[in-house]
Chain A
Amino acid sequence: MPESILELKNISKTFDGKKVIDHLDLTIYKNEFITLLGPSGCGKSTLLRIIGGFVQPDEGRVFCNGVDITDLPPEKRNLHTVFQKYSLFPHYDVAENIAFGLKLKKKSKEYIRDKVKYALRLVNMEGFEHRKPNLLSGGQQQRVAIARAIVNEPEILLLDEPLGALDLKLRQEMQRELMKIKREVGITFVYVTHDQGEALTMSDRIIVMNQGLIQQMGDPKSIYDEPQNAFVADFIGESNIITGIMRKDCLVEIQGQDVMCVDTGFQKDEPVDVVIRPEDLSIVPEGAGFIDGLATDVIYQGAYYDIRVLADDYEWAIQSVNPVMCGTRVGLAILPENIQIMHKPRSADEEVIRGK
């Protein structure tokens, strides 16, 4: 059992009558890279700000190493935040920005100099010591912001969509670098993002949030392969989500066709949500799959073709390395273990299922 470092107990927060976080419990472990993932307005940033001390929860307590820090102001917490807008001090140069926290702690000149040097090397910004922030690119500014937080050796680094303002290529580069930095400094990262790709790439553990509730938590693979509800399935990557009927264990009826699956424990003839990832479907000759349909759209995406097949009023999304002709009739095939069956929510409210 890994050692816990931060515990959130029964946290609630309401803004303007809207419940942003609803009785949330969460334990964060030492040295993990944990990502809070969800659409905008799901409460993930508020949660991060509660951890950082910038927002006071209406209810609930925050514990760090077993000590209640709920009422501590941000400057008294041994956690540092990397903001989306970088928020570097415009009147200080790069080295002065990074030294800010250390100066406040009255560290010796030599110590600060060594630390700044180390941090600049860590984020690959050697030689930029005396640049002013306004002369740096967005990616460089974010590196400095990360260095500025890390030199203080926080127990936890909070990252609030730090790569959100960068373009795709730079973002991917920075993702790799963040992971490298994480490995080198060995501290806990709490990362907030709405980008599921980013979350899947970097995290040890992902917390999927919606409407102030934890929808699911787990390692990236389990989140992707076994989404626990339609929200998670839909939010994490593209999914085909279609209503089916569970005939018996390991047999589900999809669009009137019985299809083998591996899920058990459902009631006989229970209506269920069937989730199938586009890359798990394969195109086969008409009649050879579990269902036939008309290829309505084929888009070349580089590594694969994005294909839409219309069958019985449902448009299936398929990713295939082999193209098909638009307008031809094809069959769709699926391996039983790639079908994910989920209970249907009983009401719209239950759409948001509390995480375990």
Chain B
Amino acid sequence: MSNTTRGFKWLSGPYLLWCVGFTVIPLLVIVQYAFTDTTGAFTLSNILAILDPIHSKAFLFSLEIALGCTVLCILLAYPLVLVFRRLHLSRGKFMLFVLILPMWMNFILRLLAWQMLLSNNGIINNLLIRLGLQPLAVANTWISIMIGVIYEYLPYMVLPIYNAITDIDEGVIQAAQDLGADSGTIFRKVIFPLSIPGLKSGITMVFVPSMTSFVIADLLGGGRLQLIGNIIEQEFNRSMDWHLGSGLSVALMVFVLISMAFTMKSENVVEEEGRQWRVN
């Protein structure tokens, strides 16, 4: 058996090359930039620049958007998935397909469409005015950014949770019912705990990208509202200060890694809570 695995190991070569060339080396370069100044001397100032009021404000705003997006995606995903599960299998699959369909369109195009929908004299406001209602002033506000990130990342929350929940054996749910659990209890004690692995990947796939995105804020925030991603992008592309850009990137990366570690731990807490069930 080890012979066969060895024989096929070289197949991962191209990916390894890709990975080293386009992930590992650039990362090392960024780290090197982050800890040096223009003269090449070691410094922590690029990293600590995250504490600068302008930067920390953008950072906290990013955090708010990412947390809000993650929580709202979770709240939207569970009812959706539970409905999908109830539907006849083929119809549930179709609904899922409808949900994923927009993902086949280009990311920028989707955002431009939202921009047109939400702008002050956009389609939605036109419609509201025609209906004699107050137009919305959401264009270039945090609300439109929030709508954008939720729209972009909701499928990444729904899919893993859907997979986890459809994997649950119907017999297990019937057993819970048989033992006296109503549908709320079945969700709390059986479906939700068993969906946690899916929730875990969902959070990873929604929180991290919504924390670090900058295109969405660019297009839907009108350039007035800046996420930390926008600031990093500006340091690289406009100010050409690669050292500062790298420093902020590394600070952000460390924060994301820590918060992910924390997420894994807090899920254990959720599991622990299920343990009030523990006997003895």
Contacts and interface: CB of A to CB of B under 8 A. Distances in A.
Interface of A: 52, 54, 73-76, 80-81, 83, 85, 87-92, 95-96, 98-101, 103-105, 112-113, 116, 129, 145, 148-149, 152
A128 to B, nearest CB: 12
A338 B194 CA distance: 58
Contact of A90 (B176, B177, B194, B274): B194
A75 B169 contact: no
B193 A91 contact: yes
B194 A83 contact: no
B55 to A, nearest CB: 42
B171 interface: yes
Contacts of A95: 278-280
Given A75-B181, A103-B277, A129-B280, A87 B175 contact: yes
B273 to A, nearest CB: 12
B279 A74 contact: no
B179 A96 contact: no
B279 A100 contact: no
Interface string B241-280: 0000000000000000000000000000001001001111
Contacts of B193: 91
B182 to A, nearest CB: 6
A81 B175 CA distance: 7
B177 A75 contact: yes
B280 A83 contact: no
A92 B278 CA distance: 9
A15 B264 CA distance: 46
Nearest to A52: B178
**Which of A91, A105, A152 lies at the interface centre, i.e. has the most chain B CB atoms within 10 A of its CB?**
A91
B117 interface: no
In terms of DSSP, what is the predominant structure of the interface of chain B?
helix
A91 B177 contact: no
B190 interface: yes
A267 B171 CA distance: 53
Interface in B101-158: none
Given A80-B178, A95-B280, 14 more contacts: A74-B174, A74-B178, A80-B179, A89-B176, A90-B172, A96-B279, A101-B179, A101-B180, A103-B277, A104-B179, A104-B185, A105-B180, A116-B279, A148-B175
Given A83-B171, A89-B172, A91-B193, A152 B277 contact: no
A114 B155 CA distance: 47
Contacts of A90: 172, 194
Contacts of A76: 180
Given A75-B177, A81-B178, A89-B190, A112 B279 contact: yes
A104 B181 contact: yes
B35 to A, nearest CB: 44
A74 B190 CA distance: 16
A99 B277 contact: yes
Interface string B159-194: 000000000010110111111111001000110011
Contacts, number: 80
B277 A96 contact: yes
A91 B274 contact: yes
Contacts of A81: 174-175, 178
A87 B182 contact: no
A65 B190 CA distance: 31
Contact of B172 (A87, A103, A104): A87
Q: Nearest 8 A-B pairs (CB), nearest first?
A: A87-B171, A101-B179, A87-B175, A95-B279, A91-B193, A104-B180, A74-B177, A75-B180
B102 to A, nearest CB: 34
A252 to B, nearest CB: 50
Nearest to B175: A87
A148 B279 contact: no
Nearest to A145: B175
Contacts of B179: 75, 80, 100-101, 104, 148-149, 152
Nearest to A158: B178
A99 B279 CA distance: 8
Contact of B174 (A54, A113, A148, A152): A54
A95 B178 CA distance: 18
Contacts of A80: 178-179
A265 B190 CA distance: 61
A75 B190 CA distance: 15
Contacts of B190: 89, 91
Contacts of A149: 178-179
Contact of A83 (B174, B185, B189, B277): B174
A46 to B, nearest CB: 14
A152 B180 CA distance: 10
Contact of A85 (B169, B177, B180, B279): B169
A152 B274 CA distance: 21
B44 to A, nearest CB: 45
B195 to A, nearest CB: 10
A32 B149 CA distance: 62
A75 B277 contact: no
Contacts of A148: 175, 179
B23 to A, nearest CB: 35
**Which of A75, A85, A101, A148 lies at the interface centre, i.e. has the most chain B CB atoms within 10 A of its CB?**
A75
Nearest to A112: B279
B39 to A, nearest CB: 57
A106 to B, nearest CB: 11
19 contacts: A74-B177, A74-B178, A75-B177, A83-B171, A85-B169, A87-B171, A89-B189, A89-B190, A91-B194, A91-B274, A92-B274, A95-B278, A95-B280, A96-B278, A99-B279, A101-B180, A116-B279, A145-B175, A148-B175
